[in-house]
Chain A
Amino acid sequence: MRHLELRSGLYRDSVALMRISANLTGSPGVRRALVAMATRVNLDLLTDLGIDPPGHAHPDDLLVAVVAEDEPSLARALELLDRQLHPPAGSPVHPGLSTRDGGVPAPRTTASAARRVDGGIALISTPGAHAFVEAMDALDAGLSVMLFSDNVPLSQEVRLKEHATGLGLLVMGPDCGTAVVAGVGLGFANVVRPGPVGLVAASGTGAQQVMALLAAAGVGVSHCLGVGGRDLSEVVGGRSTHAALDALDADPATELIVVLGKPGSARVADELRSHAARLATPAVVAPLGDGSPDLTTVAEEVLTTLGAAVPAWPSWLPDPPPSARVAAQALVPTTTHPPGWLHGLYGGGTLCVEAQLVVSPILGPVRSNTPLRPEWMIGGRAGPAVDEAPGHVLLDLGSDEYTVGRAHPVLDPAARLPLLERAAGDPRVRVVLLDVVLGHGTHDDPASVIGPVIAAALARDEPLAVVVTLVGTADDPQDLARQATLLRDAGARVFLANAQAARHAAALASGGGGGR
């Protein structure tokens, strides 16, 4: 039976609504459910549910559409919906939390909220068109900004960073997914122990990879300051990067600074290097690009500089090699695997790029929606084009074209699974490579969601290997060891280091043994 209603006077952010929709769909007896703001795009989705769009709907209304088996299932679903939309105050979501500040209602703007704190950071993740106004509120109130939002116009980014420079504050972002300030994780962030390394990073998952590797080696992090992907461009001029460098230099707890960047304009890159050289604190500048060292190598260089031992990077393999010596040799597969195509399904953009950089010298052309060369571009706004492109393909599924109207794969591991199944269904694909990222803000048990699908895929007749990069620290709430074990028990070959995972995957795809 089909149920459709509109509720007005409610606003919930899109991520929360996607979770609610998913929860309702998972409710017993419910076939499909859609809970979303009644925009035209979302109203169009109603036809998929076999429901006619309502006559008068305003984008400010909340659309609720449920297809259920029977009356009781529908009632349960609607009850669940009410609980999710209006959790009771002081609910068991978080014990000891007060939702109200002594009877004063919640602030409605960042300006108002900023009056209730004494300095600090504003973490802004509104839709990009509205982020600038909230960010200016924060800066004017003396707060630095972590701008998680993407789709912020470049001119606004420049204005924000100019304003911040004048006020002696920092803008992290836009499109900054990860930051850690004095142990506080902002956005998608892993739990790290305080330590001597301070990171400045243009990207989220790249920083997460380095922090995870350092943590595995017993080295902690003082801070990880994100600067956004465009900071080193000619127009922005590296403002946030420079401010971050100076702040880390002045921080007594930071003994080594690591700059993980996307290569920007040559002029800005030069200024960055000379600034880094002038700092009192030693600095390692590591842009990720053709010819540059991969992130694992950067992490190893950091450890060596600090005088810490470089460990054998953790891996969890269903068929571990018999001797430690072989294990140390970039974990070359011991069983021969018939050659075939490599398909990568990445949530982390930087990890996807790094994988391409590692894999391409071994396997040749690698197609992608964020390719190393323009002629290797595939896909488009229409959706996945995996089955259209022959050969090796590494997709960045966190990229805009894959996340319009859908959850980001880091938040919702299930988002990638249809693609995994499709790859498994293609006998020409011999190796699937994907990343699983842990930490605060992400799914609380991704291995339980992905594991069964991996196992099912591996059960196919033709040989298939699944390689997983698992980015996390031992302190992460998801329990790194347990996630790794679950994935390995499902048959995946799990690596902490993405470069190793990619190399292993490439070796498998090229026919086992052989290349490094």
Chain B
Amino acid sequence: MTAALRGLLHAPPPVVAVGATVLADALAEQAVPHVRVDWRPPPAGTEDALARLAADPRRASANAEAVRRMLAAGATLVDVRPAADLVDLAPGQFCHAGPPLDWSAASGPMRGALIGAMLLEGLADSPDDAQAQLARGRLHNGRPIELFPCHEKGGVGPMAGVVSPSMWAWELRDETHGTAAWCTLNEGLGKVLRYGAYAPEVIDRLRWMAAVLGPALAGGVRAAGPLDVKALVGQMVQMGDEGHNRNRAGTLLLLRDLLPSIVESLPAADAARVARFVGGNDHFFLNLVMAAGKLQSLAVGSIPGSTVVTVMARNGTEFGIQTAGTGGQWFTGPAGVADGLYLGAYGPRDANPDIGDSAITETIGLGGFSMATAPAIVRFVGGTVRDAWATTNRMYEITLAENPAYALPVLDFRGAPTAIDTTLVVRTGILPQINTGIAGRVAGTGQVGAGLVTPPLRCFVAALESLAARAPDG
């Protein structure tokens, strides 16, 4: 026998009060335990779309399914291979980070990276030659040059995220859902392709990575057996990393797991060089976290009626998002410039707009969303430890679930805030907080700082309207 109205009339009820403060004050006057909502109206013009979605009978179960899949997704490192084996790319076709882009709109680092990729693939004799072909949109032999978002080719790329067939990449699998994802290997810090550098040393390094590093890591992975990356991420967030801007512990955990088999399979000098390369780059593990995030995103897939955000990515010019209920459609807006701390003599005028697929980490509850677990990050992005804590707490307001696999000790092991709900972003005006490196505006400058940035609200309003248009009538 279920109680009428779930037992509402049995005892004085607790109250959630939203709206006029005088009514909440009246509750306090009566000694009624209550929770006040700090409410403010959503942007003008969004009320109808929000109401349509609130009324959509599919939404609750669609979102519950999206959450279930996102949390259930696994991430296992199974191999390291050339992009040619993982991505379908003909000569003249390249992947890049963020939403669709063409050369004319591309920023400095993106252009530099594309030039470098042309050189790496032997499609141009010189940077000028590469640039001319890219600007024309056509190779010398007449084939068109085509650019694809990494996301649309089953992978992710950091910063410029340019991928060409000769570059080596991690291959990960989600055994729960039977899907796969890739991310290129991290080149290191300083003058690197992903920041738009294309000098001969950059190309040489990429060739070394293809000839030595990649196969070494591949050998190590095959010898050690599949590596549970999800478990490593779960450990790193308990060691002060947040998976986007701070990956030091994750890098060391990876090295610990792979080093024995690398030592066994390589001559000592090569093994040492590989170990030095990996160990000397605090962000080496970032690319694995990104691939694991891509797997969580792929697991959700397309679910009609779901308002969960599945992709957040930037190409240095625009910021783009996707939701589960709108499939592969991109909703874009201008990419912002991160606000933070600059290295050396660099300043805001040196900064490129936000760039990279690394916002996939925030999409799955890491990075800026887990800042509270990585308080040391404030030394790099600015603010206080209290701000980091407040940021994570704020992110719980726009997400639907907490991921127990990424439990944050400082919050009493509360799971990372996961599954961003488009409607909650628009209703509250709280934008997903991204914690990122800042690239130099001029190609090849490298990292000029680190800071905090948010997507433009416009992306979420556009997605909201598209979702509302798909909701059933009345």
The chain A residues found within 8 Å of chain B, CB to CB, are 11-16, 19, 59, 93-94, 97, 101, 104-114, 116-127, 129-134, 136-138, 140, 142-144, 148-149, 155-156, 159, 168-170, 181-187, 189, 191, 222-223, 243, 246-251, 253, 411, 440-441, 477
Contacts and interface: CB of A to CB of B under 8 A. Distances in A.
B32 interface: yes
Given A16-B21, A132-B55, A441-B26, A106 B47 contact: no
Nearest to A246: B4
A122 B21 contact: no
Contact of A15 (B9, B21, B37, B44): B21
Interface string B20-41: 1111111111101111111111
A140 B41 CA distance: 20
A109 B398 CA distance: 9
Contact of B23 (A113, A148, A159): A148
B20 A440 contact: no
A168 B2 contact: yes
Contacts of A104: 393
Nearest to A13: B20
A125 B18 contact: yes
A113 B18 contact: yes
A223 B4 CA distance: 14
Contact of A120 (B15, B39, B42, B423): B15
B205 interface: no
B69 interface: no
B18 A15 contact: no
Given A12-B21, A123-B16, A130-B41, 11 more contacts: A14-B20, A94-B28, A108-B39, A112-B37, A119-B13, A120-B15, A123-B17, A123-B18, A133-B51, A222-B9, A253-B9
Interface stretch (B162-170, B226-234, B424-432): B424-432
B8 A181 contact: yes
B18 A251 contact: no
A184 B35 contact: no
A180 B397 CA distance: 30
Given A133-B50, A440-B26, A142 B6 contact: yes
Contacts of A169: 5-6, 8
Contact of A250 (B4, B21, B32, B396): B4
Given A107-B37, A133-B54, A136-B55, A181 B19 contact: no
Contacts of A251: 4, 9
B54 A185 contact: no
Contacts, number: 205
Count chain A CB atoms within 10 A of each CB in B8, B18, B27, B39 and give the residue with the most. Answer: B18
B177 interface: no
Contact of A108 (B3, B17, B22, B430): B430
Contacts of B27: 123, 184, 186
A14 to B, nearest CB: 8
Most chain B CB neighbours (cut-off 10 Å) among A12, A15, A109, A189: A109
A102 to B, nearest CB: 11
A148 B8 contact: no
B394 interface: yes
Interface centre among A14, A120, A168, A250 (most CB of B within 10 A): A120
Given A129-B47, A243-B5, A247-B8, A122 B393 contact: no
Given A111-B424, A143-B16, A123 B22 contact: no
Query: Which DSSP category, helix, strand, loop or mixed, fits chain A's interface?
Result: mixed
A251 B10 CA distance: 7
B122 interface: no
A130 B54 CA distance: 11
Contacts of B26: 185, 187, 189, 440-441
A387 B39 CA distance: 41
A117 B16 contact: yes
A34 B349 CA distance: 42
B427 A113 contact: no
B22 A441 contact: yes
Contacts of B390: 105
B393 A126 contact: no
A311 to B, nearest CB: 27
A116 B474 CA distance: 31
A152 to B, nearest CB: 10
A182 B19 CA distance: 23
B14 A124 contact: no
Contacts of B17: 122-123, 125
10 contacts: A101-B35, A105-B390, A113-B36, A113-B37, A121-B8, A125-B19, A148-B19, A248-B9, A250-B3, A251-B4
Contact of B19 (A112, A149, A168): A149
Contacts of B6: 119, 142, 144, 168-169
B37 A118 contact: no
Q: Which has the most chain A C-beta neighbours within 10 Å: B11, B16, B29, B35?
A: B16
A107 B19 contact: no
B252 interface: no
Given A121-B13, A182-B10, A106 B38 contact: yes
B396 A112 contact: yes
B402 to A, nearest CB: 10
Given A184-B30, A185-B26, A130 B13 contact: no
Given A112-B396, A170-B5, A117 B18 contact: no
B178 interface: no
A124 B19 contact: yes
A183 B9 contact: no
A404 B19 CA distance: 17
A101 B3 CA distance: 30
A97 B27 CA distance: 12
A108 B15 contact: no
A246 B9 CA distance: 11
Nearest to A16: B21
Given A11-B40, A148-B19, A169-B6, A156 B30 contact: no
Contacts of A222: 9
A142 B2 CA distance: 14
A477 B36 CA distance: 22
A185 to B, nearest CB: 6
Contacts of B12: 181-184
B11 A117 contact: no
Contact of A113 (B16, B25, B430, B474): B16
A159 to B, nearest CB: 5
A16 B34 CA distance: 19
Nearest to A9: B40
Contacts of B142: none
A13 B19 contact: yes
A482 to B, nearest CB: 18
Contacts of B54: 132-133, 136-137
A182 B18 contact: no
A134 B134 CA distance: 51
A154 B14 CA distance: 28
A184 B41 contact: no
B417 to A, nearest CB: 11
A167 B209 CA distance: 59
Given A16-B20, A184-B32, A108 B9 contact: no
A123 B50 contact: no
Contacts of B32: 184
B385 interface: no
A222 B10 CA distance: 10
